[in-house]
Chain A
Amino acid sequence: MPASSLRHRNRAADRASSGRAPKRSKTLTIAMVLFAAYALFPLAWLLINATKTQPELFSSFGLWFSGPFALFDNIAQVFTFDDGIYLKWLGNTLLYVALGGGGATLLAAMGGYGLAKYRFPGKYVVFAIILGAVAIPGTALAVPTFLMFSELGLTNTVWAIIVPSLASPFGLYLVWTYANESIPDELLEAARIDGSGEFRTFFTISLRILAPGVVTVLLFSVVSTWNNYFLPLIMLSDPDLFPLTIGLQQWNAQAVGVGASPIYNLVITGSLLALVPIMIVFLLLQRYWQGGLSAGSVKQ
């Protein structure tokens, strides 16, 4: 068995290096190279094909460059096509992310902190209901939310996207675990004795201590609002309000049907451009998502 031979080899290696610093394994590294290749090759495909013209897309091998280098042409076309609607979609996405994702983080931070650090009647019932809501399928709510919003006259407005994004029960739960672990009651007591109001204490002291947990929640809220597809799909009909996800999907759908004019090069380059900001955010905030996830997963 390869597994047992691997074990023997590792054990021998352990003994050789006194068991403290394990020897690096080639077999394991190769397995992980395959993993990384699986994770990265579609992104490589996207990057390579964003450099091709529409006809080259159909005629060349997918994982290598071919024909004239058209990346900058494609980018220019993406930004100018249909009077620059892509830029409008990008702006909408940023608006939804800033107000929806940012607002969700603030509400989750305050709520999680309030539940963790204060005693009040009904606290445990409220907590149980919020936790239970983590399991409610988002799409189960979509239809009734749409009907409610349409009676309020909110469909096909930016509020139809922003308001539902504001509720993040899972974010609240993460902050709750983090606040329980990191903010000592004595600290709040001391602030009280010094005459600081509860809200001032929160914004000047507690929030600073909570920062790693809150940044993690912010990151996940930003990703989920940036990637949101179902909600805008049902709520919006005006292309001027679309986020990037719906806009790209609409460009892609243009290629199908009668009198279709495929603009696959724009779909591919537009997709690539839609990835860039979120990737940058992820790379910059690495230490937060790597450390912060543990707050939620270890606890349970």
Chain B
Amino acid sequence: MSVVKTRDQRRGRMSRTDRAQARAGYGFLLPFLVVFTLVMLAPVVYSIVLSLFQNRLIGGLVFVGFDNYVEALTDPQFLGGLGRVVLFLVIQVPIMLGLALFAALAIDSARLHGTSFFRLAIFLPYAVPGVVAVLMWGFIYGERFGLVGNLNELIGMKLFTPLNADWILLSIGNIVTWQFIGYNMLIFYAALKAIPHDLYEAAEIDGAGQLRIVASIKIPSIRGAVVIASIFSIIGSFQLFNEPNILKTIVPNIIPTYFTPNMYAYNLAFLGQQPNYSATIAIIMGVVTAVIAYIVQLRGSRKDV
């Protein structure tokens, strides 16, 4: 369809109605495109340009080709941060999505008392601003007057120390999980509701139990939703910034400025006065994220029969 269209157009054979259509289409799209170009495309292009230059004491701004990229890929602070978010992603995303899937299946099963209460309660944290969520959990984690402090008193020893260096990634993972379980649950639940019910009836007539229906019908049917949720979660993990950056005000010595790649890029640009190097790191992270999201998408859709 589109190919034919362009060919027609090349030969200057666009009818009057086609031209009116095209004009209206562009008209609807134009405001979005203007903003989109200004705040998304232009910054990407600008970043790429920035990343190819260096500001030197002698000579000022000079073109350095891929020097910044070479530096970044051998920079232990950047690689350490990248390793940290990958570790975070590998552990937190499966746990969060697994729990969300369980909750969605439970709500969809019609075997619960008070289904709508659970749906609302589990979704509610999504509406909590990230800053408030982190402040709240930061207080709860506190050993001095937080719940964790109360809990340790109860046990009689300092068993839980969520704000210590060994625990901090886990503590951040808990905050992120708390915020986004409900959102992912809703994506899964909406997909589950779209499965035709005669499939279940047919399976039940064939003698399939509920768990069998879940494993053989429900989960395979919502694969698309699982892939989408995974991609969003992966993007979110690579972008990890708000939670550690806010916790940093509570425990400045535990969370360094290069804790995650995004924190590193932010601090390089705004405190370190190195916008070129910062842009390089942003571009590398963008490429890494896009590549991994693409691989997940491919793997997810390949298994589709």
Contacts and interface: CB of A to CB of B under 8 A. Distances in A.
A187 interface: no
Interface string B12-46: 00000010111111111101110110111111101
B123 to A, nearest CB: 8
Given A22-B109, A144-B43, A198 B246 contact: no
A35 B118 CA distance: 8
B282 to A, nearest CB: 4
A137 B286 contact: yes
B interface secondary structure, majority: helix
A10 interface: yes
A63 interface: yes
B130 interface: yes
Contacts of A202: 28
Interface stretch (B62-70, B87-95, B236-244): B236-244
A248 B135 CA distance: 9
Given A135-B235, A275-B129, A120 B25 contact: yes
Contacts of B157: none
Contact of A139 (B147, B282, B293): B282
A275 B127 contact: yes
B72 interface: no
A63 B144 CA distance: 14
A258 interface: no
A204 interface: no
Interface in B158-198: 178, 181-182, 186-187, 190-191, 193-194
B152 interface: no
24 contacts: A19-B204, A24-B113, A28-B112, A29-B111, A32-B107, A32-B118, A36-B117, A36-B122, A39-B182, A42-B125, A46-B132, A62-B140, A121-B5, A135-B290, A136-B40, A139-B239, A140-B285, A141-B47, A143-B278, A147-B275, A223-B127, A248-B131, A290-B186, A297-B228
Interface of B: 2, 5-6, 9, 18, 20-29, 31-33, 35-36, 38-44, 46-47, 50, 99, 102-103, 106-107, 109-114, 117-133, 135-140, 144-147, 149-150, 178, 181-182, 186-187, 190-191, 193-194, 201, 204, 209-212, 224-225, 227-228, 231, 235, 238-239, 241-242, 246, 249-250, 252, 262, 265-266, 269-270, 275, 278-279, 282-283, 285-286, 289-290, 293
